[in-house]
Amino acid sequence: MDQDQIELYAQKSDIDNNLSDATVIAKYRLAADIAQDALTKVVARVTEGVRVSELCAFGDEIILSYTSKVYNKNSVEKGIAFPTMISVNDCVEYYSPTGEANDDVVFRNGDVVKIELGAHIDGYIATAGHTVVINPNPSAPVEGRAADVICAAYYAAEAALRLMRIGNSNVQVQEAIAEAAAFFNCSPVIGTASNEIKRYVIATEKLIMNVPDEENRPVQDFVFVANEAYTLNILVSSGDGTCREGLAKPTVYSRNVHQNYNLKLKSARAAFSAISNEFGVFPFTIRALEDKRHRLGVTELASHNLLTPYPVYYTRSSDKVAQFKMTVLIAANGTTRITPALPMPYVHSAYTVPEDSTIARLIATETVKVVKSGGALTGIGASDIVAPAAGMDVDM
């Protein structure tokens, strides 16, 4: 990717973000429909004995299949905005194995499985994520800490969503996340965040930390305004929320557009050219590089900071982590969730949300519009979740 291309992406990210523009909304909606359908199909295949690498590849294939069929009359970029990543139990995020050597995971009964992925149409991004439990007895609810952490993450996400309105602040959202997690004796995962997105920009400087961490990751407070889009990404641990980089090597990378280096090796230059042309500014997996020589070049590119890795983090091995992720548009006429929630797993927590709490009052409000089926592609879309009013038996 040369300097002219980088400047072009920068220009595109600063224009055409008007959420009152029907064309912009249509592209966001189509990207959301595609991501939603891919997520639904991946979730349906989560069962004991399935390999994570195979399911990640399946999710990517669905996105590419849909995007290859739309906007073909003009030279419109479209495809994967975030590759399919499936993180199990204490694994926090960004696990997308190649299937080679010993870097894969096979699902087992009782596993808490987090799936996230994303699509883009003309640089307009929609991502979605969901958590399920592999339950050998579907007629009985999952109990224990797996149930607690799923309920905590779900209610934190729903409360946070309702606070993402013009005039509210990221601090209010962070406080709600902490409050919801505490009700279930759980903790938001330190170092994880939600973020504003723009056209061709997967994350701006506007962050909503799941846990404020001024020492290691200072974030400026801000107020939500019209014409903003966000990835709301809630990650909650059944432990204390601390995490560390694990043994799994990163397989997800993105182009660092702020770094240039005159590569000496021909193989590295070929790999860099292939990555820039095929993936642009969006994250990709090593698995997507069909030429093994290009895979070998990733290490050198990362060593010169031309590629940014997404490290795989883990909490304590005894902990469980749950995640819910959605795309939210804040327009002058209100807030809309364009990637609807999928059905919750059947879980029962020993804890509950007090009826007189801020979280309960937020959940009871209906101030956020939820897009159901966009209708752009047959079979895409899902019903929105209606939270239980009291108690923590969740069977959606």
* Number of domains making up the chain: 1
Least confident of 29-33, 113-117, 254-258, 339-343: 254-258
The model carries a pTM of 0.89
- What are the start-end ranges of the E strands in the chain? 78-88, 91-93, 112-121, 124-133, 187-188, 193-197, 207-209, 228-237, 244-245, 252-255, 284-285, 307-309, 313-314, 321-331, 334-337, 347-348, 368-370, 393-394
Residue 96 pLDDT level (bands cut at 50, 70, 90): very high
Please check whether residue 262 lies inside any domain of the structure: no
Residue 101 pLDDT level (bands cut at 50, 70, 90): low
| Closest among 338, 313, 274 to 118, alpha carbons compared | 338
Return the pLDDT at 13: 53
Please check whether residue 74 lies inside any domain of the structure: yes
Please check whether residue 255 lies inside any domain of the structure: no
Residue 38 contacts residue 80 (beta carbons within 8 Å) = no
Please check whether residue 328 lies inside any domain of the structure: yes
Structure tokens at 338: 């364009």
Give CA separation, 26 vs 5, 15, 201, in Å. 25, 16, 18
Residue 9 pLDDT level (bands cut at 50, 70, 90): low
| pLDDT tens-digit series, residues 106-165 | 999 999 999 999 999 999 999 999 999 999 999 999 999 999 999 999 999 999 999 999
Between 367 and 394, name the one with better pLDDT.
367
Between 16 and 48, name the one with better pLDDT.
48
Sign of CA dihedral 57, 60, 66, 71: negative
| pLDDT tens-digit series, residues 48-88 | 999 999 999 999 999 999 999 999 888 889 999 999 999 99
Q: Phi and psi at residue 20, in whole multiples of 5°?
A: -95, 0
* CA angle centred on 33, ends 30 and 37, rounded to 5°: 145
* Cα first-last separation, the chain: 46
The residue range of the domain holding 137 is 3-250+310-394
CA 394, distance to chain mean position in Å, is 22
What per-residue string of b and e applies to 78-117 under the rule 16 or more CB within 10 Å gives b? bbbbbbbbbbbbbbbbbbbbbeeeebbbebeeebbbbbbb
Residue 167 contacts residue 224 (beta carbons within 8 Å) = yes
What gap in Å lies between CA 289 and CA 310, rounded to an integer?
Answer: 17
Output the average pLDDT for the chain: 88
Return the pLDDT at 379: 29
Return the pLDDT at 314: 97
| pLDDT tens-digit series, residues 246-263 | 888 999 999 988 888 777
Please check whether residue 388 lies inside any domain of the structure: yes
Least confident of 121-125, 270-274, 311-315: 270-274
Please check whether residue 264 lies inside any domain of the structure: no
Return the pLDDT at 11: 57
| Closest among 56, 103, 152 to 312, alpha carbons compared | 103
Q: Phi and psi at residue 6, in whole multiples of 5°?
A: -60, -45
For 246, counting Cβ atoms within 10 Å of its Cβ (0-12 exposed, 13-18 middle, 19+ buried), the class is: middle
Between 48 and 388, name the one with better pLDDT.
48
Residue 196: CATH number of its domain: 3.90.230.10
Return the pLDDT at 10: 55
Residue 265 pLDDT level (bands cut at 50, 70, 90): confident
| pLDDT tens-digit series, residues 219-245 | 899 999 999 999 999 999 999 999 999
Residue whose token pair is 């890795």: 309
What gap in Å lies between CA 48 and CA 110, rounded to an integer?
Answer: 9
Alpha helices for the chain (secondary structure H): 3-14, 22-44, 52-67, 145-163, 170-183, 266-279, 292-303, 358-364
What gap in Å lies between CA 182 and CA 387, rounded to an integer?
Answer: 18
Strand 193-197, strand 112-121: pairing:
unpaired
Please check whether residue 273 lies inside any domain of the structure: no
Return the pLDDT at 304: 86
Return the pLDDT at 381: 26
Q: Answer whether residue 384 shows pLDDT above 60.
A: no
What gap in Å lies between CA 280 and CA 303, rounded to an integer?
Answer: 19
Please check whether residue 263 lies inside any domain of the structure: no
- Per cent of the chain over pLDDT 70 is 89
Residue type at 78 in one-letter notation: K
